[in-house]
Structures are given as structure tokens and as C-alpha cells.
């Protein structure tokens, strides 16, 4: 594990995390790494840069597991579709971006460039933070922090239950009901480096339905799904 040099920056970051989440970090290097966006990544050897991407990958998996367990126990009579949709509502990129901003993580993220260029950097940093907590304190501690300090204070479950489903889920549910094959395919990449955007196309039974682009594949999928759902809904109305 790469370790940053201890400094007053470490103490300031440690105090910020304690203020936000209520605990003092053990290995502060993990948390510094969690807030290091790839645009400001540090080169360590032969062009290889370190950033929060690996911790983001880990945090994404840990977050999904904890939320799935929480929803399973909170809604014992609901089916798989409901639980999947509720998890999507909680861990969506838009939701995590808003959450990170509410927590004040913006001020901790190291970013090289205009914030507007990196639309998902807040949510990415939050997932990386979850990964850092897991590596530092383990699963049980991470679960307690996430449920008691985040879910309890920043999410209204009743509101989420009544919130409209995300468009990708709608398209998938419709395809299953109509016995159609739906695919979300990355058909192109626009731009280079950190300004690269992914172009995703929604394909139903081999026929392209809609496409959109975004800085993340998930974001592009949702935008393309929204366009697709508009067409599906319109066609349904016409047939009624």
C-alpha cells in the first residue's frame, strides 16, 4: 500500500472525517487516496498513477452488499424486484453525488480541472470512502457507519418507496414482460483522457431504440433508457 507523507494535511483530513462520520481514521493514507481523483493522480512508477479508482471499485461492492442486506431485513415481505429497485434508488450516481455534496466531501476531493467536467466525481469519492473505511476498520464497522450515520440521516425510505423507478429498470421490466431481448451496449467513446464520454445504445430484439452519451457508462445507460422509455410509452399509448 502506498503511503503519503504525514503532515498537517493528514491531521486536517482526519479531523474532517471525524466531524462528518464520527470516528477517527486509523490508516489516514487510505482516506487521502479515497479523495484523490484520477485527474490529480500521482505517478509512482513508469507512468502508472495512483488514484481513488481501486477504492471506488471496492466501495461500490461493499455499498451494494450492505444496502442489499439492509433492505432485505427492512422489507421482509417485498419481492426481488422491489428490493432491486430500492437499492438502485439509494446507490444511483445522482443520489450519491447529492449525498457526497451534503456530507461536504467536495472540500476534501483533490481534483485537477473544472468540476463540471467530471460529473460523477462526488459519488465516486463517496464509494472510494466506503472502500477506505472497509479496508481500515472492516465490514461490520463500515456497515454501522453507513446505516447509522448515512442512511438514517440522509434517506427517507417512505419517500424512496414512492419515488418513480429509474428508466433502465423500467425498460428491463417491460422487456421481460413482453418477452423481448434488451441490451445496453457501449457503441462508441467520444473524446480522450478524462473528458472521454461513453455512447450507449439501447437495443431491443436486435433493433437500436435510442442512444445517449455520458462521462460514465451507468449515466449513459440511464439517459438512453429515458429516451427509450419515452418511445415505449408513446407506442403503448398509441395502441390503446
Spatial distance between the Cα atoms of 238 and 232, rounded to a whole number of angstroms: 10
Residue of 127, 136, 201, 221 marked catalytic? 127
Based on the residue annotation, tell me whether 156 is a catalytic residue of this protein: no
Vertex 235: Cα angle to 231 and 237 (nearest 5): 115
Whole-number Å distance between alpha carbons of 133 and 129: 6
Q: Are 72 and 88 in contact (CB under 8 A)?
A: no
Give residue 231's region: left, alpha or beta (phi > 0; psi -120 to 50): alpha
User: Which CA distances in Å does 44 have to 52, 67, 124, 131, 218?
Assistant: 14, 35, 22, 21, 30
- Which one, of 202, 127, 215, lies nearest residue 167 by Cα? 202
Phi-psi category of residue 52: left, alpha or beta, with phi > 0 → left and psi -120 to 50 → alpha: alpha
Residue 67 burial by Cβ neighbours in a 10 Å radius (0-12, 13-18, 19+): buried
List all residues 6 or more positions away from 123 whose beta carbon is below 8 Å from its beta carbon.
93, 94, 95, 96, 97, 99, 100
> Does 53 participate in catalysis according to the annotation?
no
**Of the residues 60, 85, 136, 221, which is catalytic?**
60
Active site amino acids: 60, 127
Amino acid at each position: 500500500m502506498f503511503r503519503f507523507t504525514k503532515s498537517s494535511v493528514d491531521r486536517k483530513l482526519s479531523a474532517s472525517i471525524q466531524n462528518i462520520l464520527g470516528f477517527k481514521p486509523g490508516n489516514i493514507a487510505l482516506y487521502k487516496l479515497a479523495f484523490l481523483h484520477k485527474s490529480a493522480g500521482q505517478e509512482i512508477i513508469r507512468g502508472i498513477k495512483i488514484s481513488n479508482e481501486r477504492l471506488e471499485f471496492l466501495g461500490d461492492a461493499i455499498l451494494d452488499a450492505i444496502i442489499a442486506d439492509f433492505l432485505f431485513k427492512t422489507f421482509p415481505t417485498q419481492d426481488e424486484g422491489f428490493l432491486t429497485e430500492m437499492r438502485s434508488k439509494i446507490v444511483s450516481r445522482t443520489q450519491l453525488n447529492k449525498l457526497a455534496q451534503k456530507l461536504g466531501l467536495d472540500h476534501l476531493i483533490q481534483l485537477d480541472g473544472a468540476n463540471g467536467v467530471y460529473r460523477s466525481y462526488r459519488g465516486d469519492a463517496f464509494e472510494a470512502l466506503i472502500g477506505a473505511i472497509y479496508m481500515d476498520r472492516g465490514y461490520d464497522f463500515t456497515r454501522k457507519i453507513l446505516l447509522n450515520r448515512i442512511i438514517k440521516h440522509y434517506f427517507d425510505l417512505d419517500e424512496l418507496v414512492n419515488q418513480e423507478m429509474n428508466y433502465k429498470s423500467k425498460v428491463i421490466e417491460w422487456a421481460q414482460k413482453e418477452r423481448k431481448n434488451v441490451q445496453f451496449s457501449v457503441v462508441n467513446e467520444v473524446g480522450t483522457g478524462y473528458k472521454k464520454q461513453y455512447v450507449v445504445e439501447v437495443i431491443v430484439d436486435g433493433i437500436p431504440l435510442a442512444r445517449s452519451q455520458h462521462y460514465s457508462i451507468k449515466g449513459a445507460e440511464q439517459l438512453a433508457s429515458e429516451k427509450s422509455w419515452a418511445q415505449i410509452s408513446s407506442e403503448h399509448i398509441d395502441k390503446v
